[in-house]
Structure 1
Amino acid sequence: MTLTNRYGRTMLRAGAAALGVTAAGLSLHAAIVSRLARLPNVPQDGGAARLLPNGWRVSPAGRQIDLPGDMPQTMLVSPDGKYLLVNTAGYHTHSVNVIDLATEKLAQSVEVGKDWYGMCLDSEGDDVFLSGGGKPDDGFLKDAAARKATPAQLAAMREPVMRLAFANGALAPKAGLSVAGLDESGRWISGLACGRDESIYVANLGGDMVYRVAGKPRAVAASAHVGRRPYAISLARDGATLAVSNWADGTVSLLDAGTLKQKALVTVGSHPNAVLWSKDGRLFVSCSGDNTVRVLRGGAVVETIKTSIDPSALVGSTPDALAQSPDGKRLYVANADNNNVAVIDTSSAKESRVTGFIPTGWYPSSLAISPDGKRLFVGVGKGLQFRANATHDTKVTSPESVQHYDYIGDCLSGAVSVVPVPSATQLAAYTKQVIANTPHPDTSAPDARAARVAKAGFAKIKHVVYIIRENRTYDEVFGDLPQGNGRADLCLFGRNITPNGHALAEQYTLLDNLYCNGEVSEDGHRWCDAAYATDYTERMWPNGYSGRGEPDDDDGLVDSPAGYLWDNCARHGVSYEAYGESSSFKSSPNTPPLFTGPKTLAGHSNFEYSQIPWFGGPRDLGRSDIFIRDLKAAESNGEWPQLMILGLPEDHTQGLEADAFTPTAHVAENDLALGKIVEAVSHSKFWSSTAIFVIEDDAQDGPDHVDAHRTVGLVISPYVRRGVDSTLYSTASFVHTMELMLKLPPMTQFDAGATPLYNSFSDQPILTAYEPRKAQVDLEARNPKSGDGATASAKLDLTAPDRADPTALNAILWHALRPGVPQPAPIRSASLVR
């Protein structure tokens, strides 16, 4: 049997073993797609599908229960089956929530200040143990005290393991647990497990350690060093073996539950996270980095289950949570980035079968099932849709008071979907909806004009210049352009400050429906460079950006399993050079510079460019000078890289930090640097075969009347079509378009599924060179050394992008540039697909 997937690859059944999938499992995936293509569309419980800014749709099944926080981490059903416990650890309130399963309503929510993934119920069911995440800093505790946290609550937040009493469906604070010997400086408590002998097992992601805390009073009875960045832990049903998923190195540690001595270290897939023991002794491990669940028995992998709809799909499904029916016949797997739950028949210990998919809200992050197996509970990480965050008459009383302004993190929301376990017929209908919610631009032939562009336009591009800037929304910069969908009253950096940006948008094409895939710089740069952000990044950035801290990064956790654009180039013989982006060097007076960035960027990174500090030094004009100098040298020798990635970050600004350059000067310098780069390229010998792409890494720092993900982007080339292009594009659309031009394959499901910028290009070149516009403001203007703005800015960390509180920084910018005008709030939206 021959199958052709939506990426145009032909697959033979004989090749299934190479994918790690059983032949029966492979044919079942194909059978699902074939059968469902013939079914009528069935409206889902969640109503009309909602279009997300990234081009995917959500239509969550079941009944929805809103939570006070976002990113649910763990869900537990009480021993009597009456209650569901849910802890949240996202940007909003960190809390433990009690849902009454008889009424399916939120019965109680207890704020805990900060927590993380681990939660377990003791053997008696009357104590809830909770991960304390990282050590809270003094500033966090001070803020908690200001919010009226009691001394007991503050003390509990300091403990690595928090505890709540649980009786009659109600939670109450209780003294936490200390862990002797734990390195407090770098601790980050992740998974927890409760044993029948009242032992508590504690994983410290920050120190690669697992502890067994036991006895009365509880004390550390055993400890063990495990693999890199232990995440989830689970105790076998017979109580003999503890399984630990090592998130960063693709292994699972199997430990003796009493002594914590290692029984086996098993290599599984990329980014193993959730672990679950079946009643028959199998261990299921979800591997978010390769769309799989690995099945272990006897210390070895005996089966690999692909959880993506298409078994040959690229990286991007992100399985991150597991639940199994009480009878062991069904396994449920949350595919976070596909917004669905895979349903797997596990009734046979020899061969599991994927039977269908259930649609969910945005980024399902946890799962549980009722004791009778009739209801599935799905924790929704990012929400059911994005929302308008405030009215247009929101008042900001001072640069330091932005009480009613919602930052992009504030607009994330959490929920629990209660889904009756579907029949075969309903599951088939759900699966058809999941397929419909997934972008499929490659399944239908482009129209005639787009086909001409792809052949005659894209094929002429031999060089791509990719410029990544920092944090602006569309309305902040282009809101004053009447030909686009903008609002002039939200425009902070209009034509007088960004004359080159405006001229380029008008001389080439204005993109007024472009969205960032990421919310902040931490995930935004990953999306720009890799068309993907890992489960680690998506779960961690809300902690860091809400002031709760993050553990030290690990390349095994933050790097996309599919690699980055430069890796894609290296694999396919495309020349490349990085200017600042992901480039780092270590140097001293006595030694030559040592490159410390990604291996494939060694020898492909400009040292001088990387040495310019984020703020200060030569600034963005200094950066542009280095690039232009290299361009002129390439004109002499004829060798210019095919892909060049430039960080041009000065539009981030430093707020009103005393004596720093003003926000206007920062943005105007960034604009002039862009103009000079385009001028140099358009006057060069390479112009006729070059395309320049300009985008912000994220749009977190300002208002936009459509959605706070909507951003400023430009495409500049002789082959760019003049006018306005209102096609919905995303960061991944830019990546996909560049890949098509450079004849690179897609890296993930997101660039593969993103709409290319066909509508922005023509098959007829216009070779007119660009003449830059002069700055219309003082590029050397400095902030006052004192005043309200300087005082507010002094409280922020402005040493590099995104270290400052983004809400406060944006308020400072607004009041500096629009004095006396109430600050409108950004709007988050979701389009209804009828």
Structure 2
Amino acid sequence: MKYSLLCCLFAFSLSALAQKTYTTLQVPSASRPGQNEFCLIDTSGKSVLPSGRYVTPAGQTIRITNDPFGLALAPNGAKAVTLHDGVMTLLNLTGPKPAATRVPDYAGKIPSPVRGGTFLGVAMAPDNRTAYLSNGDKGRVIVFDTETLRTTDTIDLNRDKGYTDSFTSDLLLNGNELLALDRANFRLVRIDLKTKKITASIPTGRQPFGLAISPDRKTVFVANVGLYSYPLVPGVTKANKDTMMLKFPAYGAHSKESREGVEIEGRKIPGLGDPLADEAMSVWLIDLASNKVTAKLKTGVQIGEMIEEAEVVGGSSPNSVVVGRRFAYVSNATNDNISIIDYKARKLAGIIPLKIDRNLDRYRGTTPFGLTLSNDEKTLYVALLAFNAVAVVDVPTRRVKGLIPTGWGPTRVALSPAGNGQPQKTLYVASARGYGAGPNGGAGFVKPPAGTYIGDIQLGTFQAIPVPDAPALAAYTRQVLNNTYRTVAVTDDPKNPLPPLPKVRKSPIKHIVYITKENRTYDEVLGQLQTGKGDSTLARFGTGVTLKTRISTTRGISGRTTDQPGDSIRVANADIMPNHIRMARQWAFSDNFYCDSDASIHGHHWMMGTIPNEWVEANAASEGRFDAFSKAPGRRFPKSSGGIDPEDYNEIGGLWESMERSKVSFYNFGQVNEFAGNYEEQYDTTFGTATPVVFPMPDAAFRHTSRNFAGYNTNIPDQFRMDQFEREFTAKWLGKNKQPLPQLITVMLPNDHGAGPRPTEGYPYLHSYMADNDLALGRMLHFLSRTPYWKDMLVIVTEDDPQGGVDHVDAHRSLLMLAGPYVKRGYVSHTHANFGSILKVIYNLLNVDYVNQYDATASLLQDFFIERRPGDKPDLRPYDAVLPDVRVFDPQEAMKPYKSHTFDWRKIQRGPEMDDRAEQRIEHYRQQGEQNP
């Protein structure tokens, strides 16, 4: 989307700004409200989220299990059921405040009705006690008695002949039958509840997700969120997959090759077809009398359209439908709008743009999800998954009347039943992450019943909100906007290398190296640093660490850190990640940075400028078995943890696409490499993985990604990756025939993710992976700081998510370190920062337009940078890497499996060679017409 300054905030245009000569310039800008605060949960006041936004849920709010993606009310309004991953919550709505019963309970007295996985489908029967629950990955429907808290029956979708590997998605009751979506087999299933027999299987579009029915019970609506049906790589079988899988994606998404296919190494790799096909991201209408599809409607904005000079790359992601007497309403998550369907005419009848604030409306970032419609059909309530609010839409005028504050990540909304001619009085809202996670370790921390893993300790919320009148809604709206951003005055001081906005002026920083790592919290790495807000007792990867492990005669060294009798190997006073500590002390780090993500499936989206949509969030919260060889096409569904799939793309993309639109050069080492069903073996070194299914990369990334850098794969040492990086960097951007260095380089160094101990391969402990990663980071800085580009370079280091550790401030708190000649020395930043803040640094330095609301409202991290005065020279001192404690990690041992690679510390210490001697030698003999001896 074409960038322009937040329109009502600025008193002059960007062109006028560019023409003006100034030393300082007062301009208003947007920032997070919690910019100077640490994350905090305050259920009676305001809670500060990792994004720096506040949450202040309206009405009566209680905490429930995380990720309630299913919600259903009993017809009499006395109870509600929410569905989570393997858990359901029964809510009593008859008291002054909702009361929750978790099934199963933490004490183990109430058994789980849904062992295995669940998805988002839940429905309540007219008897007000029987609940039907999606058993997701198991392909079943669970029938559950909410009075006795026992399962009474199960219905298997695989009973229908010809169908296997079903996956139960949304479901609803239609009199004496149950309608269920099978997202694995792309079908709607009709089940007779008296006989428990399947009476019909009706084809749908790809990955059917949302289900609704008209008031007259004649027409069913299916929202399909799938974009492509992904084929098996030709020639791949269960027996030969190790040799026949693709070692690198065949093409970029939405390209000519992805439409038509491509030949690779003598094999014709099939294409994915047209992203605008009827089966792709559409709403289908099905007539129940005939079991026929009567309409296939493409809602929202379509791929390939242009929006303010930006090409649309993300499908609309229609996900939820609510139906009135004439019109149906569909939430298009990617487009921040609602499509209107005149279903009797079987055609689209308009769009409701979810315009919520004139300062933010030019950017996407609300992600509409769950819907409910008032009985008089004059008001539509929309859960805004990425905006922590419910939008209240006036249907006759098709405008947003206001916003209601919710917990973090609202998923579903419902209205209480109307009775005795009275209007619906209460709005119910379920939110995935509630108030956030809070601390999950440290002095004084008490382990809650839910556990300490980030996905467990972070509870959801359930709200009961009296339907607001106009004054109350106006107050709520102000609260939501105040929770989301602040207008702040920014002084553009030319002495600071980081401009306050893109395209204001050029920065002396010309090149950015963006290094992303895996799964660590702040405290476990930097918690000992006295200049930061840390808890040294949690610094298990810091300095002076003692490791104890136990030997088993049958299983080898366990690698677990223990304090039990029988511990027989002891490493005392080890420095696990000395380069991280040295880098933090030498340059600048944040003690108030948070990952927006809980896990990798979210983190690799956020890091690359993509807001995870409802498809990503729902899949992350549910078990889902991938099977490349299944007869069910939906079992080859994308659920990547390190990549970004076509179903996930934001409207105009993320970091890659924004760089390309602005004609800013970039190159990628290892990002977006981990697709669903991939194989990660020790010798998959060209990309780190191999795939049996044809999944595309984002097209912009595909064209600018190294073909010889092992991305995520903890079987491969980070030292091997550094060898790959140094070789390619030297060949491309150093020496006689060098090309211009790209302005942005992204690099993945993943081994601090950790994995099981491999004592015979140089990894006797979990800590060994950390030491490997630490040395790689040290080598990266050592190498870069000795290149000619160092004089105008910035290095950014962060983690994709924090799920591997614990932290005494918040489970999302993680690492952010900056290095380079223009970064302050020995500095700690207390400014609240998140991934949006990192991206804002990149966009502002490289003069690239913001992509979404999280970029536009992120904290500005100018405090990290020096203020240069006339005549000042940047500090060009290089970084000197240090070796790890060989007792913890021996790089020589880790590199032994790779015969052509050795760990040469002396060569590493010398730094880069400006001319690649081997390459120049080959070129010399080529020019002489001789063979290389």
Shorter-chain TM-score category? Answer: 0.7 to 0.9
Is 1:635 aligned with 2:734? yes
Identify unmatched segments of 5+ residues in structure 2.
12-29, 31-41, 105-112, 227-279, 301-315, 419-423, 544-574, 627-633, 640-644, 869-873, 894-933
CA 453–489 in structure 1, closer or farther in 2 if over 3 Å, else same: same
1:810 alignment counterpart: none
CA 194–5 in structure 1, closer or farther in 2 if over 3 Å, else same: farther
2:56 and 2:450 map into 1 onto residues whose CA distance is 30
Q: How does 1:43-82 map to 2 (within 5 A)?
A: 47-67=44-64, 69-81=65-77
2:875 to 748, 766, 786: 766
TM-score in terms of structure 1 length? 0.78
2:747 alignment counterpart: 646
CA contact (8 A) 1:134 1:550 kept: no
648-657 or 421-430, which moves further after superposition? 648-657
Q: 1:75: how far off?
A: 2.9
Task: Give, as a single letter, the amino acid of the residue that structure 2 aligns with 1:134.
Answer: D
Is 1:338 aligned with 2:387? yes
2:821 alignment counterpart: 718
CA contact (8 A) 1:324 1:331 kept: yes
Task: Give, as a single letter, the amino acid of the residue that structure 2 aligns with 1:163.
Answer: V
CA 184–773 in structure 1, closer or farther in 2 if over 3 Å, else same: farther
1:300 to 319, 322, 347: 347
CA contact (8 A) 1:584 1:597 kept: no
2:10 and 2:439 map into 1 onto residues whose CA distance is 44
628-637 or 571-580, which moves further after superposition? 628-637
2:84 alignment counterpart: 89
CA contact (8 A) 2:210 2:222 kept: yes
1:730 alignment counterpart: 834
1:565 to 655, 663, 666: 655
Match of 2:471, SS?
helix
CA 546–420 in structure 1, closer or farther in 2 if over 3 Å, else same: farther
Deviations 1:335-388 (A, max 9, x none): 111111111112x3xx32211111111111111111231111111221134334
CA contact (8 A) 1:453 1:762 kept: no
CA contact (8 A) 2:775 2:881 kept: yes
1:284 alignment counterpart: 329
2:542 alignment counterpart: 494
Task: Give, as a single letter, the amino acid of the residue that structure 2 aligns with 1:651.
Answer: D
1:600 to 689, 700, 707: 700
- Calculate percent identity across the aligned residue pairs: 29
Match of 1:294, SS?
strand
2:154 alignment counterpart: 176
Q: 1:718: how far off?
A: 1.0
CA contact (8 A) 1:457 1:762 kept: no
Deviations 1:684-720 (A, max 9, x none): 1111221111101111111211111111221112111
Match of 1:524, SS?
helix
TM-score in terms of structure 2 length? 0.70
CA 541–551 in structure 1, closer or farther in 2 if over 3 Å, else same: farther
2:667 alignment counterpart: 577
Q: 1:781: how far off?
A: 4.8
2:722 to 624, 627, 644: 624
Q: 1:497: how far off?
A: 2.1
1:522 and 1:421 map into 2 onto residues whose CA distance is 35
CA 668–96 in structure 1, closer or farther in 2 if over 3 Å, else same: closer
Deviations 1:665-697 (A, max 9, x none): 322221121112112211111112211111011
Is 1:387 aligned with 2:438? yes
1:193 to 172, 183, 194: 172
Task: Give, as a single letter, the amino acid of the residue that structure 1 aligns with 2:99.
Answer: L
1:275 and 1:673 map into 2 onto residues whose CA distance is 49
2:297 alignment counterpart: 266
2:404 alignment counterpart: 358
CA contact (8 A) 1:46 1:61 kept: no
Match of 2:51, SS?
coil
1:403 and 1:109 map into 2 onto residues whose CA distance is 12
2:789 and 2:225 map into 1 onto residues whose CA distance is 45
Is 1:324 aligned with 2:373? yes
Match of 1:259, SS?
coil
621-630 or 650-659, which moves further after superposition? 650-659
2:321 to 259, 271, 275: 275
CA 712–7 in structure 1, closer or farther in 2 if over 3 Å, else same: farther
CA 657–629 in structure 1, closer or farther in 2 if over 3 Å, else same: closer
Q: How does 1:458-537 map to 2 (within 5 A)?
A: 459-495=507-543, 496-537=575-616
CA contact (8 A) 2:364 2:852 kept: yes
Match of 1:501, SS?
helix
Task: Give, as a single letter, the amino acid of the residue that structure 2 aligns with 1:705.
Answer: H
Is 1:423 aligned with 2:469? yes
1:670 and 1:219 map into 2 onto residues whose CA distance is 56
Q: How does 1:647-726 map to 2 (within 5 A)?
A: 647-657=748-758, 659-660=760-761, 661=763, 662-722=765-825, 723-726=827-830
Q: 1:557: how far off?
A: 2.7
CA contact (8 A) 2:516 2:799 kept: yes
CA contact (8 A) 1:464 1:691 kept: yes
Deviations 1:638-687 (A, max 9, x none): 42122111110111222435545133332222112111211221111111
Deviations 1:772-816 (A, max 9, x none): 22333346459x9xxxxxxxxxxxxxxxxxxxxxxxxxxxxxxxx
Match of 1:430, SS?
helix
CA contact (8 A) 2:709 2:724 kept: yes
CA 584–578 in structure 1, closer or farther in 2 if over 3 Å, else same: farther
Task: Give, as a single letter, the amino acid of the residue that structure 2 aligns with 1:201.
Answer: L
Identify unmatched segments of 5+ residues in structure 1.
12-32, 34-44, 136-158, 397-401, 785-834
1:676 and 1:62 map into 2 onto residues whose CA distance is 53
CA 740–7 in structure 1, closer or farther in 2 if over 3 Å, else same: farther
Q: 1:79: how far off?
A: 2.4
Match of 2:198, SS?
strand
Deviations 1:509-547 (A, max 9, x none): 121111111011111111111242121222222334999
Q: 1:595: how far off?
A: 9.6
1:78 and 1:509 map into 2 onto residues whose CA distance is 55
Task: Give, as a single letter, the amino acid of the residue that structure 2 aligns with 1:674.
Answer: L
Match of 1:510, SS?
strand
Query: What is the count of residue pairs matched by the alignment?
Result: 706
1:449 and 1:750 map into 2 onto residues whose CA distance is 25
Is 1:244 aligned with 2:222? yes
CA 524–331 in structure 1, closer or farther in 2 if over 3 Å, else same: same
Deviations 1:461-495 (A, max 9, x none): 22111111011111111111111111211111224
1:121 and 1:640 map into 2 onto residues whose CA distance is 60
CA contact (8 A) 1:409 1:542 kept: no
1:613 and 1:424 map into 2 onto residues whose CA distance is 52
CA contact (8 A) 2:802 2:813 kept: yes
Q: How does 1:143-158 map to 2 (within 5 A)?
A: none
Q: 1:212: how far off?
A: 1.4
1:314 alignment counterpart: 363
CA contact (8 A) 2:512 2:796 kept: yes
Task: Give, as a single letter, the amino acid of the residue that structure 1 aligns with 2:719.
Answer: L
Larger radius of gyration: 2
CA contact (8 A) 1:192 1:200 kept: yes
Q: 1:390: how far off?
A: 6.1
2:205 alignment counterpart: 227
CA contact (8 A) 2:496 2:865 kept: no
Match of 1:380, SS?
strand
CA 499–76 in structure 1, closer or farther in 2 if over 3 Å, else same: closer
